[in-house]
């Protein structure tokens, strides 16, 4: 009763299996659980423990990390030296206790990253005798962006704090400064020393943002431009981090904050203006992308106009402008901006796909309007232009067709605005307005070339 059962032998009989579909982590974490379907075909499936695609692994593994542990120049260590002991012999101590060691592979420039900086880093991480990284931002396809003091194990925080922008270095980290005696099974064994190869892509000094955090906008305007620029860069990087986590509302908040302080700052010369405009261009485009994701297409249009005021030949601005206008069913203007984007980047597949989407959506829209017109006017209520008693006096067929059409529009996540057929009577328009109000849609009309146009649209996100 004092001993636990040893399942080691049983565990050795387990085999890896392939799932027929990828796991949705959100479903896995949900209290209701998740159902896995095993693919029993066994085609091209090897029962190994590799966590990454082999071709991608070959592209991303830094083989010179292993070469660093070669037998050259290790006569002092003796023949029994381990790979990490050989690597450590060519490093310097960053920590007084020797638990974080460093070797610069490619020098950077400028100052080192301050402790409260928002850093952008790529890395491969290895355990001793491991034949592949246990973690790799290169294999994931994007760097990690986070506060230096919050996002890393202690030894890596010490290491990155010693780096300059653009630098690539290796760090050997003692278990006490990593995952300790327990490790992090199955990838990181107990009491494991770790080797990191890190590239510091960029960093922004967040102290500037924190210094401006409690100041009013008027006081921010009086601050030194370099301080304002650093603060805007920090907010920009923080927004990028939130965007990658799909926290779009939080990203918008960060980008808007950076825009506000940059738009109001005082500029003393053309050099400062150029830096301001360069940063604002990035922020406007990022905001346009976020607003498009939120289906806030009108706000996206405003941001794209602001971006194009700075740089007329900007493919990203034209592309996102076209995407926003497409959601508003403004097909002609959407096509204009998408073609402008394609002229700048003719080989961009995303632009070509968006143009195909536009053509398909326009054809579908025209067919829908034609069908809707036929269905409504088959049961038309006549040409009485006076709604008089403010009652929806139309035929039952017209009301049912209008309700079905508007409900379909309200439930279509890809549409934010549509134009109604021309020739509606005042009674029919009033009926549509009543149904739209029930569905929380808005109706507006405008005159264009002497013709009345009526649009139904969804509410824009706050």
pLDDT score for 362: 84
pLDDT along the chain (462 residues), means of 10: 34 42 49 50 43 54 56 61 90 92 94 85 92 88 83 92 94 95 90 95 72 56 79 87 88 92 87 94 96 91 95 95 90 93 94 92 76 58 46 71 83 78 78 86 78 79 60
pLDDT score for 251: 93
Do the beta carbons of residue 113 and residue 160 sit within 8 Å? yes
Instruction: Return the closest-CA partner of residue 298 out of 263, 253, 330.
Output: 330
Domain boundary (58, 81, 98) is at: 58
Q: How many domains does the chain have?
A: 2
Range of the domain at 391: 368-457
- Give 418's Cβ-side CA count (13 Å radius): 24
In a domain, 317, yes or no: no
Rounded CA-CA distance 414/335 in Å is: 17
In a domain, 397, yes or no: yes
pLDDT score for 135: 92
pLDDT score for 233: 87
In a domain, 29, yes or no: yes
In a domain, 401, yes or no: yes
Instruction: Please report, for the domain that includes residue 396, its CATH number.
Output: 3.30.1370.50
In a domain, 35, yes or no: yes
In a domain, 46, yes or no: yes
Q: 């653009």: which residue's tokens?
A: 166
Do the beta carbons of residue 454 and residue 419 sit within 8 Å? yes
DSSP codes joined into one string, 137-157: HHHHTS-EEEETTTSS-HHHH
The two three-digit tokens of residue 182, written as one number: 């327990």
Residue 246 Ramachandran class (φ > 0 left, ψ -120 to 50 alpha, else beta): left
Instruction: Return the closest-CA partner of residue 62 out of 127, 132, 129, 145.
Output: 132
End-to-end CA distance of the chain, in Å? 62
Do the beta carbons of residue 224 and residue 185 sit within 8 Å? no
In a domain, 378, yes or no: yes
Do the beta carbons of residue 383 and residue 425 sit within 8 Å? yes
Instruction: Return the closest-CA partner of residue 173 out of 151, 157, 150.
Output: 157
366: three-class secondary structure by DSSP:
helix
In a domain, 225, yes or no: no
Do the beta carbons of residue 220 and residue 182 sit within 8 Å? no
């Amino acid at each position: 009763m004092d001993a636990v059962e040893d399942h080691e032998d049983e565990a050795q009989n387990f085999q890896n299996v392939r799932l027929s579909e990828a796991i949705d982590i959100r479903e896995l974490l949900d209290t209701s659980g998740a159902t896995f379907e095993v693919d029993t075909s066994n085609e091209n499936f090897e029962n190994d423990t590799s966590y990454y695609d082999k071709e991608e692994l070959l592209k991303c593994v830094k083989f010179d990390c292993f070469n660093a542990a070669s037998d050259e120049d290790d006569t002092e260590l003796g023949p029994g030296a381990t790979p990490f002991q050989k690597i450590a012999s060519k490093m310097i101590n960053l920590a007084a206790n020797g638990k974080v060691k460093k070797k610069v592979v490619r020098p950077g420039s400028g100052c080192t990253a301050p402790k409260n900086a928002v850093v952008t880093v790529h890395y491969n991480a290895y355990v001793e005798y491991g034949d592949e990284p246990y973690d790799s931002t290169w294999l994931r396809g994007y760097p990690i962006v986070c506060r230096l003091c919050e996002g890393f194990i202690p030894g890596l925080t010490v290491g990155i704090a010693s780096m300059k922008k653009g630098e690539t270095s290796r760090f050997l980290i003692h278990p006490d400064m990593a995952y300790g005696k327990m490790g992090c099974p199955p990838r990181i064994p107990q009491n494991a020393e770790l080797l990191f190869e890190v590239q510091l892509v960029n960093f922004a000094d967040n102290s500037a943002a924190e210094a401006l955090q409690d100041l009013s906008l008027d006081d921010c305007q009086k601050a030194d431009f370099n301080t304002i620029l650093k603060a805007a860069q920090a907010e920009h990087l923080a927004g990028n981090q939130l965007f990658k986590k799909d926290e779009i509302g939080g990203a918008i908040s960060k980008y808007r904050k950076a825009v506000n302080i940059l738009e109001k700052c005082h500029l003393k010369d053309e050099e400062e203006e150029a830096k301001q405009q360069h940063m604002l261009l990035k922020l406007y485009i990022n905001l346009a992308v976020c607003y498009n994701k939120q289906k806030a297409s009108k706000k996206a249009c405003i941001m794209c106009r602001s971006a194009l005021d700075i740089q007329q030949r900007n493919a990203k601005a034209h592309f996102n402008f076209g995407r926003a206008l497409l959601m508003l069913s403004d097909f002609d203007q959407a096509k204009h901006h998408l073609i402008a984007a394609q002229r700048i980047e003719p080989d961009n597949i995303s632009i070509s796909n968006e143009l195909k989407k536009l053509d398909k959506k326009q054809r579908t829209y025209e067919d829908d309007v034609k069908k809707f017109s036929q269905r409504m006017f088959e049961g038309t209520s006549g040409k009485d232009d006076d709604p008089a008693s403010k009652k929806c006096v139309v035929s039952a067929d017209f009301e049912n067709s209008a309700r079905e059409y508007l409900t379909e529009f309200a439930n279509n996540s890809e549409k934010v605005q549509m134009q109604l057929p021309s020739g509606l009577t005042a009674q029919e328009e009033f009926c549509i307005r009543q149904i739209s109000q029930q569905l929380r849609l808005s109706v507006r009309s405008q005159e264009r070339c002497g013709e009345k146009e009526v649009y139904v649209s969804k509410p824009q996100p706050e």
